[in-house]
Every structure is written in structure tokens, then in C-alpha cells.
Structure 1
């Protein structure tokens, strides 16, 4: 059993696809409890180009004093 996938068909933006899915779910399901600033932040993020969203997502996943 290998600890990681060696599938060459793995989407290189899998983490961004998951975040997009998660944000869409939260936006639809909990729209009534989101504040205006939170809705605006979601819209701004979704309007960014894909490479910018991917970079931001990767940086959010980092840990340590210099990343958050």
C-alpha cells in the first residue's frame, strides 16, 4: 500500500476544486446567516483568476508563524 497517489490523472488543482465546492455549499446553505462583509469576501475571492485563487488556497493550508 502506497502512502500517496501516483495516479497521473490526479487534478493538479484538487485543493482549489474542493475549496470552491465548500464555499459554494456554505454560500447556498447558510446565506441568511452570513454577514454582508463575508458575502462580499466570497464574491471577491470567486472573482479572482484561477491561479490567484490556487495560490491563496495553498497559502491558507500552510502552518507556521510566517503563514497566518
Structure 2
């Protein structure tokens, strides 16, 4: 199941975060494991596990 949204990135301590829309989180199922996120930062695709290039919390995040 794929969901698409745009959100502003902000930082909590050393972790980057976004607010996922409620209509998307309502569809999530409780399962063991993690949720894979693909994102676009400044029109450049990045994997969530490799976000070293993200330095500015004002970048736009698009979950795909």
C-alpha cells in the first residue's frame, strides 16, 4: 500500500521527523518491523536510511 503526502521536516534532538497526516496513520496496521519510507529532498530522491544529505529542517518531505 502506497501513500503520498508532503510535510515539513523538523528536528527533535538528533532525529529528523515529519507529521504524517491522520488519514494515513489511521490505515496503518500494527505489525512487527519497520515502515520503509522513500522521500524526495529538494527534488532529489533519498532513502530514509541514508539521509545524511539532509541538513536543513526547512526542506520539503514527500513520502512516496
Relative contact order higher in (CA < 8 Å, ≥ 6 apart): 2
Normalized per residue, the structure richer in strand is 2
Q: Which of the pair is proportionally richer in helix?
A: 1
Per the TM superposition, whether the score is higher than 0.5 is no
Shorter-chain TM-score category? Answer: under 0.3
Give the TM-score normalised by structure 2. 0.23
TM-score, structure 1 as length reference: 0.23
